[in-house]
A and B are shown apart, each in its own frame.
Chain A
């Protein structure tokens, strides 16, 4: 096969064509794009500033509200059991008899069921208690 030499060949054209009147409309399209970009440029800076200041304001409000919300939660909570117990046993004038007055039969039944003393413990208490006769007579 004969060696191909570019310089011996007639000039090879690219063969590329353009649509009719392509170059007549090109500059108008380019100028349109440039104008669009110019208009768009102004809006985001203004918008961004506005959004940023809104976000900053919202952040400040949320930060300021943190102690308020915390306090609100703390005061609205019911007293916990430990505090109540401590109060009743040390700070109030309630005595055993006051408590007993408040109990009805249902409560006593519950207590009987709840406090299941073992035989041995009961014996221990009875033998070590010197006032056992008092208890029996009551």
Chain B
């Protein structure tokens, strides 16, 4: 924890800010990329959202109170950015968020930055049928392999509720894959 406090102090001190922010970028870019890509699905959108996320992290650092961990605070910004992006894109196209995600999954087959096969596509299609919260929980637990405690901090829910959400999500996905 002291390390984190020191790191935050470095991020806020104009003298050390640049070096500290470079470190934050290199530590978080890959996991955050995966987190956002799992939500918005295609690379170009992920690139936009990821850059916006880091810019916001930099802008709001001053107001970071240290009440939560830096890790969960950054993940929360990324999650909000990705979800807002999806909703705005759906609105622009005049379709629902679910329809937009289905379209994105159909586009995956032709995506140069996707090398999955049938089962990956089917799994993504199954995930889209879930409520938003369950989608997030499933992606963070199954694909990103985050701990329940970490997910709980990011999403602001209890570990118990998350376990139940994940359990429901898995059941629904298994049912979908079996019947399709």
Tell me, yes or no, whether A135 is within 8 Å of chain B by CB: no
Contacts of B174 in A (CB 8 A): 3-6
Judging by beta carbons under 8 Å apart, are B113 and A3 in contact? no
Judging by beta carbons under 8 Å apart, are B29 and A15 in contact? no
Q: Name which residue of chain A comes closest to B170, CB basis.
A: A6
Judging by beta carbons under 8 Å apart, are A33 and B55 in contact? yes
Report B25-55 CB contacts with A as 1/0, cut-off 8 Å: 1100110011001100001000100110011
In the assembled complex, the CB of B33 is this many whole angstroms from the nearest CB of chain A, namely 7
Tell me, yes or no, whether A90 is within 8 Å of chain B by CB: no
Judging by beta carbons under 8 Å apart, are A27 and B120 in contact? no
Most buried by B among A14, A17, A22: A14
Tell me, yes or no, whether B173 is within 8 Å of chain A by CB: yes
Judging by beta carbons under 8 Å apart, are A17 and B25 in contact? no
Most buried by A among B54, B59, B114, B142: B54
Q: How many residues of B contact A (CB 8 A)?
A: 34
In the assembled complex, the CB of B137 is this many whole angstroms from the nearest CB of chain A, namely 14
Report A54-90 CB contacts with B as 1/0, cut-off 8 Å: 0000000000000000000000000000000000000
Task: Known A3-B174, A6-B170, A27-B22; judge A18-B113 contact (CB<8 A).
Answer: yes
- Alpha-carbon gap, A49 to B135, bound state (A): 48
Report B47-82 CB contacts with A as 1/0, cut-off 8 Å: 100110011001100000000000000000000000
Contacts of A30 in B (CB 8 A): 25, 51, 54-55
Contacts of B119 in A (CB 8 A): 12
- Alpha-carbon gap, A17 to B33, bound state (A): 11
Contacts of A19 in B (CB 8 A): 43, 113
Task: Known A4-B177, A4-B178, A34-B55; judge A16-B37 contact (CB<8 A).
Answer: yes
Judging by beta carbons under 8 Å apart, are B143 and A14 in contact? yes
Contact among B38, B55, B117, B173 for A6, CB-based, below 8 A: B173
Judging by beta carbons under 8 Å apart, are B51 and A33 in contact? yes
Contacts of A31 in B (CB 8 A): 21-22
- Alpha-carbon gap, A15 to B109, bound state (A): 11
A residues sitting closer than 8 Å to B (CB atoms) are: 1-6, 12-19, 22-23, 26-27, 29-31, 33-34, 37
24 pairs from A and B in contact (CB 8 Å cutoff): A2-B178, A4-B178, A6-B142, A6-B174, A13-B116, A14-B37, A14-B116, A15-B114, A16-B38, A16-B43, A17-B115, A19-B43, A23-B29, A26-B29, A26-B50, A27-B22, A27-B29, A30-B51, A30-B55, A31-B22, A33-B51, A33-B55, A34-B54, A34-B55
Pairs A-B, 6 closest by C-beta atoms:
A15-B116, A4-B177, A27-B25, A15-B120, A30-B54, A4-B178
